[in-house]
Amino acid sequence: MNGTAGIYQLRERLILFYKRQEYLLLPVLRFAVSLALLFLLRTHLGAHGPAGAALESTLLNVIIALVCSMFPPGYAAGIIALVMVWDLYRLSLEATAICAALLLLCILLYFRFVPKDTMVLLLMPIAYALNLHYAVPVIAGLIFGPGTAVPVVLGLVLTRFALLVEEKIPTMGAAGTPLTGDRLITNFHSLIDGIMKDKELFVLILALALTALVVCFIRHLVMANAWIVAITVGSVIELVVLLAGDMKYDTNIDLGRVFVGIAVSFLLAQIFRFFVFNVDYLRIESTQFEDEDYYYYVKAVPKVMVPVSSMTVQNFSNPGSGDPEYDEFAEEETPSGDADGQN
């Protein structure tokens, strides 16, 4: 029991630390995500471009990431998209046109109306590089609406497109060579066919989009342990769809990599649930009340809380020290006793 209490105490301390330092942690998070994206672009695209390309400079990448950290995720995504388009332009006019069309489609059809989901789009390339992209639709489905399947799919498509461009560079002609009409048409056909004939991509799109929708649906059901069930079902759906797609379309996916990725993503989703939505279904409380027009039936599910008094460190050598910093810390940690009425 002491071990369990210690875990909950650590959770409460981390949550309290985040609430206190949120104004610093969010810009740091945006900086880290932006810098990781820029480094990925440099690795897969910048290294193949001509000398002096924007993505080749580490200092410039850091400066751009710092600028991105000062703005909301939507503006940060726009800045990174401009860098990507610029370096693609120095690499391939055909790839630039296709990428610009995809980004314009993102802006006009979705992110103009739901900008809060932009972080999902930014995280997908990083998660894909770490083989953790299976966790993105599960976590996104827990905290956003069903529309979160759109940025999941768009992030996956843009990631695979960048990898496709890297693969096609040797056959598209050296940068700076004359661009003839035949070469332009051939390169366009090569890129479009590379996307449309990528069976693994379409199986991944189906698996991740369906997972996001199912997780969001189950998470909103009025049932005990809805978040745990949603995470479990979402992970199983990803595995089943990928295995079925591999058997039907012979996508030659790496099954070992898939199993490891889904297992680690499942653990990450459970850790996320522990910090964001950790409730005690054994202490559900039901109550009812009425007004002039209605009877109300309410079911309250309390959060798992550790008494803050057990988390504070008492100064036994001088209990009356009156340390203003300690007094302020203890005062801020006074439990509120709120009950979470979700689910």
Look at residue 96 in the predicted model and tell me its pLDDT.
85
Look at residue 13 in the predicted model and tell me its pLDDT.
83
What is the number of structural domains in the chain? 1
Q: Does a structural domain hold residue 24?
A: no
CA within 13 Å, CB half, 82: 9
Q: Do residues 199 and 249 touch, judged by C-beta distance below 8 A? A: yes
Q: Does a structural domain hold residue 290?
A: yes
Look at residue 20 in the predicted model and tell me its pLDDT.
87
Q: Does a structural domain hold residue 166?
A: no
Look at residue 326 in the predicted model and tell me its pLDDT.
43
Exposed / middle / buried, residue 233 (Cβ in 10 Å: 0-12, 13-18, 19+): middle
Look at residue 249 in the predicted model and tell me its pLDDT.
87
Q: Do residues 142 and 227 touch, judged by C-beta distance below 8 A? A: yes
| Cβ atoms < 10 Å from Cβ of 218 | 20
Look at residue 217 in the predicted model and tell me its pLDDT.
94
- Ranges in the chain, pLDDT < 50: 1, 309-343
d(CA 343, CA 266): 21
Q: Does a structural domain hold residue 335?
A: yes
Q: Does a structural domain hold residue 287?
A: yes
Q: Does a structural domain hold residue 259?
A: no
Look at residue 325 in the predicted model and tell me its pLDDT.
44
Look at residue 73 in the predicted model and tell me its pLDDT.
83
Q: Does a structural domain hold residue 286?
A: yes
Domain that holds residue 330: 282-340
Q: Does a structural domain hold residue 274?
A: no
